[in-house]
Amino acid sequence: MLVTGVIVAAPLGDAIGQAVNGALSVGAKNEVPDAPQSIVVPPQSAAVSQAGDTAGALPGLPGLADVAWATRISTETNISVRAIQAYAGVAIAKQTENPGCHLGWNTLAAIGSVESGNGTHGGSTVGVDGAVTPPIYGPALDGNGFNTVPDSDAGAIDADATGDRAVGPMQMIPQAWRNWGTDANADGKVDPQNIDDATLATANYLCHAGGDLSTDAGWKKAVAAYNDAGSYALKVSQAANRFAAATAT
The DSSP annotation for 92-122 comes to HHHHHH-GGG---HHHHHHHHHHHHTTTTGG
**What proportion of the chain, given as a percentage, has pLDDT over 90?**
74
* Structural domain contains residue 37: no
Query: Could you report the per-residue pLDDT of 72-126, keeping only the tens digit for each?
Result: 999 999 999 999 999 999 999 999 999 999 999 999 999 999 999 999 999 999 9
> Does residue 30 surpass a pLDDT of 50?
no
* Structural domain contains residue 136: yes
DSSP alpha helix (H) spans, 98-210: 105-116, 174-180, 195-210
- Mean pLDDT in residue range 238-242: 97
pLDDT for 4:
53
pLDDT for 146:
79
pLDDT for 18:
55
124: domain range? Answer: 6-18+27-32+42-248
pLDDT for 202:
97
Residue partners of 240: CB distance under 8 A and separation at least 6: 42, 104, 106, 107, 109, 110
* Structural domain contains residue 68: yes
Instruction: Pick the more confident residue, 54 or 144.
Output: 144
* Structural domain contains residue 1: no
Going by pLDDT thresholds of 50, 70 and 90, the confidence category of residue 56 is low
Going by pLDDT thresholds of 50, 70 and 90, the confidence category of residue 7 is low
Using alpha carbons, select from 193, 240, 198, 197 the residue that is nearest to residue 216. 240
Which value, in Å, is the radius of gyration of the alpha carbons in the chain? Answer: 17
Query: Could you report the per-residue pLDDT of 167-194, keeping only the tens digit for each?
Result: 999 999 999 999 999 999 999 999 999 9
Dist CA 146 CA 139 (whole Å): 9
- How much is the pTM? 0.87
**What proportion of the chain, given as a percentage, has pLDDT over 70?**
83
* Structural domain contains residue 98: yes
Instruction: Pick the more confident residue, 185 or 55.
Output: 185
pLDDT for 45:
93
Going by pLDDT thresholds of 50, 70 and 90, the confidence category of residue 26 is very low
Q: Average pLDDT, whole number, for the chain?
A: 86
> Does residue 205 surpass a pLDDT of 80?
yes
* Structural domain contains residue 144: yes
> Does residue 44 surpass a pLDDT of 80?
yes
* Structural domain contains residue 13: yes
* Structural domain contains residue 198: yes
**Number of domains present in the structure of the chain:** 1
Going by pLDDT thresholds of 50, 70 and 90, the confidence category of residue 37 is low
Instruction: Report the amino acid identity of residue 8.
Output: V
